[in-house]
Chains A and B, each alone.
Chain A
């Protein structure tokens, strides 16, 4: 075992990379849940985004088009969920599970023939002054653009939810859909838009894994990150900034765990690989004491009877 081989600067830098897919998926789901919809299909949308982005990026040679395609793929899949739960009024838990099962199948179907290929590289941010700063530059200012896009989306979501009328309406729909409906807001339409946004975010999160973090395509490569993102929303008590904090925390756990594996710690690899899931459970236990911040209409079916 050689812990000195772990470089703290690289560790912090890779933490930001490891956290980004989680951050993207979780902030999308946060918006969905704020609108009162529980979409358990994050894992399915992520993996679909991962392969859509990968396929388009490989075929066009443009990673940005790949990310766009991933957002589109995730959104299209989430539209299925939206139709089921908002139009056909199906159970949200069951529909979300179905979405994950379907997405896993769909992605490995599309992904045939993409195994073992390297995607085109993603350009990294390089601001002459900032990126060359000794420690901070390496940690904060020399990542790919997606890392910053994730941060921008979190900021945008926070601002929208807190300071804009649109955010207020979204929260109203999530807190009490009957009242929002009575006020004349189109509950179903707003929820569908939120679901599409969540799908696009999850898709981009998936593409981040297949295009940048790994970068390769393997079946089932999201390995539960979508589910951890769902747990993250609970951890964050439905607050965008806490999602950021939580994503970095989980990113940190993943990175440290991988570094410990590489450093050859005496703990077997399998037990280290369990740690992110076990820590998720632990965090859920700690956070579940406080249920007050959950949107009041979360997971309830809305049917306008009048």
Chain B
């Protein structure tokens, strides 16, 4: 009988081995899934993981890696801070939408005025919007002890309705012939989050993601706040004795996560997406949860995981158009990744032992 035995200390090797094993296991299971759908598994896996980077059309796909990776990394960095402290903000999708709405709102309000100050104001508005949206579950948790998981998730649905209302009403393009959706910010130079280096996919959101990674890394390893976050997650009682104010930590973690998600939404709406529309959000806020775990809640890990997840998005699109693999299969693929990761993770804290008698 195999039995799990708790390790005295979490295995350092397994912490970093687990995501690799999980990715390989997902590829195998995903291959089986594609085979069941009647596609050649090897071709499908190659299309998803190899072609976007190294095929003859890779020059077209490579910039997309940054475009899709940046929002994922930005959001996941914010989420990871809370997850480390046991604060579960799963409403990043809502904060992302609201950040996009406030950011775009400021831009649209200035239209057609040209000025250097428009974009920075939009950035601030986006961060503030996401922050404010995240403050709702944060304040409710601190004041009334309300479950932040459920409240932040409910607010996603509220934000989606708000988005629909805005793109059909207040922010609708007055020159759009009655079609839903706002003006295209890409055609408004002062508000356009344009590529910084043409053809690289590098826009201000990518810069923000890089800064967020570095900032989070320094905060977690060098700053007292990062120490408090880690302490609260690993030993809540010890944290209490050490004088950590749990309420303050909730406000900071949710606030930072909200601001970063809002920024991601704002950079997306003013750049790659271009305009506020009903189907603006594509689930980055939820995928970022997978990214955060896959990256071991570590800033550098998240950067890598974000790029990998962006790869599955791009490869998924290629597989969709070229092999006819349904979009849902890619979503499932990403879900499987999280499952395998959580399952393999048991090896970090436990080891297998052969025993004779069953205990539990």
**A interface residues with partner B (beta carbon < 8 Å):** 40, 80, 83-84, 88-91, 93-95, 97-98, 101-109, 111-112, 181, 186-188, 219, 223-224, 227-228, 230-231, 234, 268, 270-271, 273-274, 277-278, 280-281, 284-285, 288-289, 291, 302-306
Contacts and interface: CB of A to CB of B under 8 A. Distances in A.
Contact of A281 (B88, B155, B162): B155
B149 A224 contact: no
B161 A281 contact: no
Interface residues of B, number: 50
22 contacts: A83-B343, A89-B346, A97-B90, A98-B338, A98-B342, A102-B332, A102-B339, A106-B335, A107-B328, A108-B326, A111-B328, A112-B328, A188-B360, A224-B154, A270-B161, A271-B161, A274-B157, A274-B161, A284-B151, A285-B144, A285-B146, A291-B145
Contacts of B4: 89, 303
B158 A101 contact: no
Contacts of A104: 331, 335
Given A224-B157, A231-B154, A288 B146 contact: yes
A280 B162 contact: no
Q: Which secondary structure dominates where chain B touches chain A?
A: helix
Given A270-B162, A305-B6, A186 B360 contact: yes
B212 to A, nearest CB: 22
A277 B6 contact: no
B165 A271 contact: yes
A94 B162 CA distance: 28
Q: Main SS of chain A's interface residues?
A: helix
A42 B168 CA distance: 32
Interface string B165-176: 100110000000
Given A270-B164, A271-B161, A304 B350 contact: no
B244 interface: no
A39 to B, nearest CB: 12
A305 B331 CA distance: 37
A112 B326 contact: yes
Contacts of B260: none
A268 B169 contact: yes
Contacts of A107: 328
A306 B164 contact: no
B6 A274 contact: no
Contacts of B333: 105
Contacts of A187: 360
Nearest to A291: B145
A274 B161 CA distance: 6
A40 B179 CA distance: 38
A95 to B, nearest CB: 5
B154 A227 contact: yes
B286 interface: yes
Nearest to B90: A97
Contact of A105 (B140, B165, B335): B335
B93 to A, nearest CB: 12
Contacts of A288: 144-147
